[in-house]
Amino acid sequence: MHLFVFSRKPVLYLLMFLLVICFWGFLHYQYLSIPSLVKDPETYYIVRTQEKVTALTFDDGPDPLYTGTILDILQTKNIKATFFILGQNAKQNPDLMKRILNEGHEIGNHGYSHSYIPNKFIDELIDTDKTIFQSLNQQTLYYRPPGGIITKSIVKEVTANGQILTLWSVDSKDWQNPGPKQIEQNVVKNIFPGSIILLHDGGEKREQTIQALTEIIEKLQQQGYRFVTLSDLKQYDADITVQKNIPPA
Ligand SMILES: [Zn+2]
């Protein structure tokens, strides 16, 4: 009997150890790689400024059901935003792509098919860039990985491809469809100068995002915020860098 117990124990320990490792791996993949928790300094998710400026970003479009309405709202409010488009949607909606560009918004790359498989990211990034270049004769400077999944090698490869891996610092959580009021609160309560706001204009039902958008804009404007594209937002970080280089008196 003793012998039986002794021969099983190490196997049990090994199994428990493997179980813990698997669970840790799952947690790491599911949660720890989510950028709002990691705040990776090698990515663009914030600029350090005291100016009340912020960037609205819309992922997963262009979508014929929602993107046009979002563009209408932005036009009415005279606001410029950034759209992280999917290559497959860009191909199907060339008129919306032109409209986004012609109305002064910035276009970022969000991959081709919204695949969550990290080793497909770079191929999809390149395919999407080709699609955008064919329709608009323009290169993208900003890349946002689907689901915000990042690894060191993805950051390295994106940088080597000449793009800036871009995440966000204020999550509207509109992807949960929690109701327009909640989406608005998620933004208004968490806003700060130099933040990047995550919203969606495609992928799933986006009526709630559309319902929340005007309120988000008006509430933030009442607080003194201005809305800029990602490239314009970056200029504010540059100011701080210049100030840092001034030697102390
Ligand atoms: Zn997405």
pLDDT tens column, 40-57: 678 999 999 999 999 999
- Is the per-residue pLDDT at 125 higher than 80? yes
Coil, helix or strand for 105?
A: coil
Confidence category of residue 243, pLDDT binned at 50, 70, 90:
very low
The reply to whether omega before 178 is within 30° of 0 (cis) is: no
**Arithmetic mean of pLDDT, 11-28:** 73
Q: Which of 125, 35, 144 is nearest to 84 (CA)?
A: 144
Q: 200 and 208 in contact (C-beta within 8 Å)? A: no
CA 20 to ligand 1 center in whole angstroms: 30
**pLDDT score, position 20:** 80
The encoded tokens of residue 40 equal 């990776």
Query: Which value, to the nearest 10 degrees, does the dihedral of the CA atoms of residues 226, 39, 44, 240 take?
Result: 70
Confidence category of residue 1, pLDDT binned at 50, 70, 90:
very low
CA 146 to ligand 1 center in whole angstroms: 5
For every residue of 20-52, DSSP letters joined together read HHHHHHHHIIIIIT-HHHH--TTSBSB---SS-
List pLDDT tens digits, range 186-232: 999 999 999 999 999 999 999 999 999 999 999 999 999 999 999 99
- Is the per-residue pLDDT at 248 higher than 90? no
- Lowest mean pLDDT, pick from 161-170, 222-231, 236-245: 236-245
CA 249 to ligand 1 center in whole angstroms: 48
Confidence category of residue 37, pLDDT binned at 50, 70, 90:
very low
- Is the per-residue pLDDT at 83 higher than 90? yes
CB within 8 Å of 67: residues ≥ 6 apart: 58, 61, 83, 93, 96, 100, 201, 202
Helices (H) and strands (E) in the chain, counts: 10, 8
The encoded tokens of residue 6 equal 């002794």
Give the catalytic positions in this structure. 59, 200
Confidence category of residue 32, pLDDT binned at 50, 70, 90:
very low
CA 81 to ligand 1 center in whole angstroms: 16
**pLDDT score, position 35:** 42
**pLDDT score, position 241:** 47
Scan for tokens 């290559």, then name that residue. Answer: 87
